[in-house]
């Protein structure tokens, strides 16, 4: 009788493990006790209201025995599909708007060429996302692009991220990084008036023709921006119709060549410049204009954010000093 009880207990625990793995309130993590470590809302019977397989204590989730495949997600989509399946045309339009870009190719493929600021997670297509928390922890709600060499591994890695609670995953299926890099370069070089494009600079990083991207998603404090150099100079490149700015920022509107030249005549040549506008487009154009008119030092453009976001960081800094 005692043996039967022990056996029943062992079987119950094994079954609990399976249920937890499928219905864990923390995505792919398995909790053998099903003790709701994320403190999600419970129903009258004490169970977690939603089986959020793929959501970390979020309002919506899903619990499917079999995840949909690549073709299903491209054609119809479903709860176990990435937030968006990304084609080449869409990626050319949106590449610079993602908060983070995850490259799941092998080390050898990465060494052959990779995008500036991309996060390298080789093996994520086959291994659980928790193995990469040293690189991706805290990005669960960020808008993330995932790519590989041809699309297959990116899709598998995207599903592994969904299982672990990442909620805003965009999977590039219409090729991979080599195709993207070649296409972005082709598009940029064909547009001689605007070369280099923002996408080109996001992939190549700062160079003698590209200012360095500084996305809002990568910035947590004003101190972080000031650490970019010994003498960081903020440059407001918005049109002069925007009256309010920071006392510590210079004005050099991106559409006023005389103003830009006047600023360059006064600025310390050892400075590190950080341009900003309302949301990023003018910041990029302003940085390129400064380079066109002779600036050769370090220069960054604050992107996917602008004056309002910097104002919040300034207020946060002032509050911390009190």
pLDDT along the chain (322 residues), means of 10: 44 34 38 38 56 38 59 85 95 97 97 96 92 91 96 94 85 96 97 96 97 97 97 97 95 95 96 97 97 97 97 95 85
Calpha distance 104→107 (Å, rounded): 9
174 CB neighbour count, 10 Å cutoff: 17
Starting at the edge strand that comes first in sequence, how are the strands of the sheet with 144-147 ordered?
84-86, 169-172, 144-147, 100-103, 119-120
> Residues 194, 284: contact at Cβ < 8 Å?
no
**The pLDDT value given to residue 163:** 76
Q: Give SS3 for 147.
A: strand
Which pTM value belongs to this model?
0.81
Distance CA 229, CA 287 (A): 17
Looking at residue 287, what is its pLDDT? Answer: 98
- How far, in Å, CA of 251 to CA of 237, rounded? 6
Residue with tokens 């360059």: 264
- With CA atoms as reference, report the closest residue to 21 among 54, 50, 49, 59: 54
What pLDDT score does 54 carry?
Answer: 38
- Taking alpha carbons only, the member of 161, 182, 153 closest to residue 88 is 182
What does the pLDDT read at residue 193?
94
Structural tokens at position 23: 């219905």
């Amino acid at each position: 009788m005692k043996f039967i009880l022990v056996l029943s207990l062992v079987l119950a625990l094994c079954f609990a493990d399976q249920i937890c793995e499928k219905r864990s309130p923390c995505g792919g993590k398995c909790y053998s006790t099903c003790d709701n470590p994320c403190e999600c809302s419970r129903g009258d019977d004490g169970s977690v209201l939603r089986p959020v397989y793929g959501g970390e204590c979020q309002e919506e989730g899903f619990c499917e025995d079999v995840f949909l495949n690549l073709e299903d997600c491209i054609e119809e989509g479903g709860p176990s599909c990435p937030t968006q399946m990304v084609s080449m045309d869409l990626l050319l339009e949106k590449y610079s708007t993602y908060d983070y870009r995850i490259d799941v190719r092998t080390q050898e493929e990465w060494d052959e060429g990779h995008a500036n600021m991309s996060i390298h997670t080789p093996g994520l297509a086959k291994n659980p996302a928790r193995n990469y928390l040293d690189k991706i922890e805290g990005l669960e709600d960020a808008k993330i692009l995932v790519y590989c060499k041809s699309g297959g591994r990116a899709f598998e890695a995207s599903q592994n991220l969904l299982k672990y609670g990442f909620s805003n995953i965009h999977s590039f299926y219409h090729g991979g990084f080599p195709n993207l890099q070649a296409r972005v370069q082709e598009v940029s070089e064909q547009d001689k008036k605007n070369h280099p494009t923002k996408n080109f600079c996001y992939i190549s990083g700062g160079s003698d023709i590209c200012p360095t991207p500084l996305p809002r998603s990568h910035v947590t404090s004003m101190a972080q921006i000031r650490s970019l150099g010994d003498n960081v100079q903020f440059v407001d490149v918005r049109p002069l119709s925007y009256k309010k700015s920071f006392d510590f920022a210079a004005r050099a509107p991106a559409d006023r060549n005389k103003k830009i030249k006047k600023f360059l005549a006064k600025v310390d040549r050892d400075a590190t410049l950080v341009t900003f506008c309302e949301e990023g487009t003018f910041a990029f154009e302003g940085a390129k204009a400064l380079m066109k008119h002779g600036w050769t030092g370090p220069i960054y453009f604050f992107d996917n954010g602008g004056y309002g976001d910097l104002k919040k960081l300034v207020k946060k800094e002032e509050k911390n000093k009190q």
